[in-house]
């Protein structure tokens, strides 16, 4: 079994440090990683080694491709 995790870093622009620190205290990364809203992938993806997988991605969501 191979486990892949989503990224859990915050990209901080200059001048937004105080706002990011306030939000990090309200919503810790550990809590956010447990959420699975509709349409979003899960935080931990577990795949069996050598198991076939199918990746689906919209090339152009506006045109339905």
For residue 52, what pLDDT is reported? 92
Mean pLDDT of 54-65: 71
For 11-55, the pLDDT digits (tens) are 666 656 777 777 667 777 787 788 877 777 778 888 899 999 887
| Higher pLDDT, residue 61 or 15 | 61
Give the pTM. Answer: 0.47
Task: Provide the b/e sequence for 37-60 (b: ≥16 CB within 10 Å).
Answer: eeeeeebeeeeeeeeeeeeeeeee
């Amino acid at each position: 079994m191979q486990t892949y995790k989503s990224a859990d870093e915050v990209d901080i622009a200059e001048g937004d440090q105080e706002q990011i620190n306030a939000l990090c205290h309200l919503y810790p990364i550990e809590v956010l990683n447990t959420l699975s809203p509709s349409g979003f992938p899960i935080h931990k993806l577990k795949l069996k080694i050598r198991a076939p997988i199918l990746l689906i991605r919209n090339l152009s969501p506006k045109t339905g491709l």
